[in-house]
Amino acid sequence: MRTIHLHDTASGALTELRPREPGKVGIYACGPTVYNRIHVGNARPFVVYALLKRFLQQEGYDVTLVANLTDVNDKIYAAAVREGVSSSDLARQMGDLYRADTDLLELGRPDHEPLVTTSMDAIIALIAELLRRDAAYAAEGDVYFRVRRDARYGSLSHRDVDQMDQGEGDDRSSLKQDPLDFALWKATKPGEDTAWDTPWGRGRPGWHIECSAMAEELLGVGFEIHGGGSDLVFPHHENEAAQTRCARDRELAQIWMHNGMLQLRGEKMAKSVGNVTPLHEAVAEVGRDGLLLLFCGAHYRQPVQYSEETIEQARAGVRRIRETGRLLHAGPSPDDLATHRDAFLDALADDFNTAAALAHLWSWVREANRRGGVGDEHLRQMLAVLGLENLLDAAGGDGPDAAALALLEERQRAREARDWARADEIRDALAAAGWTVRDGADGAELIRVEA
RNA sequence: GGCACCGUGGCGGAGUGGCUACGCAGCGGCCUGCAAAGCCGUGUACACCGGUUCGAUUCCGGUCGGUGCCUCCA
């Protein structure tokens, strides 16, 4: 079990992972609001935290990964009205699509995927505690959090409360005692078709309280790692942290991890920017292997470029690993190659640096190619952390059909007759049928042309 | 304007106070009938200007440029 360091947004420094209970790690990663289908950018945190979990497990930790879905929200109400369906039907449908789309990544599911609607008791209880402590106040059915009550407010996102822009008031802002305050609970409004009863009135939760409640319920206060996209640092995570601090007198999480944005032409991919590629389309186009390699090509905190070039480069990487896989056999790898495998894992232990880790994986690959056929143990171990061990298994799809094999034999006869023109003609015909001919010491073989 | 971060060779992208990752593409070579794949070799890269230092791409200050957040956003 290596010592693992991760960058903590709150302190801005690398922090050693020190589980409350030795060997056990809880991770809470903020998931999407389900009001439409997710795009490739939304998949980055899903991938980052799924792979982090794999790495920690590889290191011997018992990991619980929680990733919530927000299924009650203004956007959902609005989208449901537009589409003429109930908000709960829409949320259920989009939640199902979210799970289906992320299943395309073949990384398994998080251990828990809580919903707002099924966590209402915990949410209401947490708000009640904040009210009891006077860290929140009710106003005409709304409940607001007293931001200035939390002396450490702003410490996660490094903002000074006194310098923060005052939120521009919507029609109900006058209910706030301080413009910085934010809603824990919103009184039900016309057009909203879901609501819950509470001592302070009928309504539904604000955005931030759900995560404080669900994370605590499933992982306990003070759990190890809280993650999400860097665009959630403020206000979402700042507010989550403040709520739990004021209700429990303890920090919600030990380490706050934030992944960088996926960029399209140098700009964040986001629904609000309108430059999105749906995840299921990206998987169809790039392939899940290529997509994972693309994500791993950059450090998780840095932006990732999603472009023709980076997609092609990721595809080339996938081909290279598959190519090496053809040479390997199942079994232990040479001891002297372990240094690359160890360096790979060391890089991951140092703020989960997948880009640096990959460099060591490539070194292992080059050495294996040079030796021509060694045991696959190390490579399989590295790829497993990245969710790519499948690259070592026989390529999917059927093998060459009878017609292709007949052509290959004919080509072999042509070659023996030194009829190069005919041999090349047949090779072209095979290429057209999707097969690359590769002449080797043991004769020719057919390799399926990669997409 | 405030906060956070970034500017690395054709592209992507790590990293480090001195020993110049890694991948893709290109070029040369080996292998091959020719290819393919693989291997070997190949690029005076670290935005600009000052400062600290024996020495800075790496530390400090400034300039310019970019990104994210400051409102829903992974």
Tens-place pLDDT, residues A128-187: 999 999 999 999 999 999 999 999 999 999 888 887 755 444 545 578 898 899 999 999
A68 touches strand B (CB under 7 A): no
Whether residue A394 is predicted with pLDDT greater than 90 in this model: the reply is no
Strand B neighbours among A 113-142, CB < 7 A: none
Phi and psi angles of residue A437, each rounded to the nearest 5 degrees, phi first: -90, 135
CA of A233 to C1' of B16 (A): 30
A211 is in an annotated binding site: yes
Residue A438 bridge partners (DSSP): A445
Q: Are A365 and A296 in contact (CB under 8 A)?
A: no
Kindly state whether residue A78 falls inside one of the protein's structural domains. Answer: yes
CA of A159 to C1' of B65 (A): 25
- In this structure, which amino acid lies at residue A188? T
Q: What is the mean pLDDT of residues A414-443?
A: 91
> Same domain, yes or no, for A101 and A126?
yes
Residues A297-339 have pLDDT tens digits of: 999 999 999 999 999 999 999 999 999 999 999 999 999 999 9
Share in percent of chain A as helix, strand, coil (round to 5): 45, 20, 35
Chain B positions under 7 Å from a protein CB?
Answer: 1-6, 11-15, 21-25, 32-40, 66-74
Residue A305 bridge partners (DSSP): A263
CATH number at residue A214: 3.40.50.620
CATH number at residue A298: 1.10.730.10
Query: Which range of residues forms the domain containing residue A97?
Result: 5-259
Kindly tell me the sign of the dihedral angle through the C-alpha atoms of A178, A182, A185, A188. positive
A290 touches strand B (CB under 7 A): no
Phi and psi angles of residue A218, each rounded to the nearest 5 degrees, phi first: -95, -25
Count of CA atoms in the C-beta half-sphere (13 A) of A115: 13
Phi and psi angles of residue A80, each rounded to the nearest 5 degrees, phi first: -65, -40
A271 is in an annotated binding site: yes
Q: What is the mean pLDDT of residues A197-222?
A: 96
Residues A239-280 have pLDDT tens digits of: 999 999 999 999 999 999 999 999 998 889 988 888 899 999
Local structure of residue A396 (DSSP, 8 states): S
Q: Are A70 and A32 in contact (CB under 8 A)?
A: yes
CA of A364 to C1' of B41 (A): 20
> Same domain, yes or no, for A208 and A318?
no
| Domain count across chain A | 3
Nearest to A105 by CA among A269, A263, A261, A296: A296
> Same domain, yes or no, for A220 and A286?
no
pLDDT score of A263: 94
Strand B neighbours among A 222-281, CB < 7 A: 228-236, 259-263, 266-273
Give the position of tokens 């790039």. A286
